Amino acid sequence: MKLKFIWKEIMSKFIFVVVGFDQRESVAYHVFCQSVLETSSYPVCFLPLAVNTLRGFRDNHIDGSNQFTYSRFLTPVLTNFTGWAIYADGDMVCTKDIADLWKLRDETKAVQVVKHNYKTKTPFKYLGNKNEDYPRKNWSSLILWNCSHPANKVLTAEFIQGKPGSFLHRFSWLEEKEIGELPIEWNWLAIEYPDNTNANIIHYTLGTPCFNDYSQSSMSSFWHSAYKRTNHGFD
């Protein structure tokens, strides 16, 4: 109990951000972190979901388009079911102070997400992956987690390994009232949605501009600008 109290005290000092990491687009992780750091007014701690570091979790699913399709649901475990955390896909750029997202925490909710309701514009996305429509598509790509909420206690590694994507990505372990809603600007889907200079987080869900096929895609200039700042100081 004392150790858990100490951990809770530590976590209260910063914003804990868990980020999807896939070696095939590792640069995307670093660009996202850069974009968060340069706009944040509060200390931030990042945790990349690199599969080689997730001890005790072996993803046995075969339907994921990236290496963090399922590991994102480990976020409460990684915090020892304590406090709050933000989960974000790695293919994003943050243009506003992430502390403003942190301020939206609602203790009555187990998770808070942008509740997208759209039909995709294309059947395929980056690296030839299928891009299909399904209920609550992209809800789980940006999650404000209430890690200590009782309803999230079921999210052990064994539980996640035993559930299909349709169950997890629709937050089926939760009651509807436990899923809070965030403003859409905190998970703006590039290409799928019109260009929006007021977006707080731009999500390149069809393909990060680090891929040639998406290097000049909608709102890609924000990503390229953050990329240049990430590399500042290198010859």
Q: Where are the domains of the chain?
A: 2-230
The single residue listed with the structure tokens 């200039």 is 221
Q: Identify the CATH number of the domain defined by range 2-230.
A: 3.90.550.10
Q: How buried is 225 (Cβ within 10 angstroms: 0-12 exposed, 13-18 middle, 19+ buried)? A: middle
The pLDDT score that the predictor gives to residue 13 is 85
Taking the C-alpha atoms of residue 140 and residue 103, their distance in angstroms, rounded to an integer, is 19
pLDDT at 11: 72
Which helix (H) or strand (E) covers residue 100, if one does? helix 98-102
174 class by beta-carbon count within 10 Å (0-12 exposed, 13-18 middle, 19+ buried): middle
Q: Is the pTM of this model over 0.85?
A: yes
pLDDT grade for 155, boundaries at 50, 70 and 90: very high
pLDDT tens for residues 58-78? Answer: 766 555 556 788 999 999 999
Q: Which two tokens stand for residue 176?
A: 């509807």
Residue 222: pLDDT band (50, 70, 90) is very high
Decide which of 115 and 25 is more confident.
115
Which has more confidence, 141 or 134? 141
Q: Above 90 in pLDDT, residue 208?
A: yes
Beta strands 111-113 and 179-181 are parallel
Q: Is the pLDDT of residue 14 over 60?
A: yes
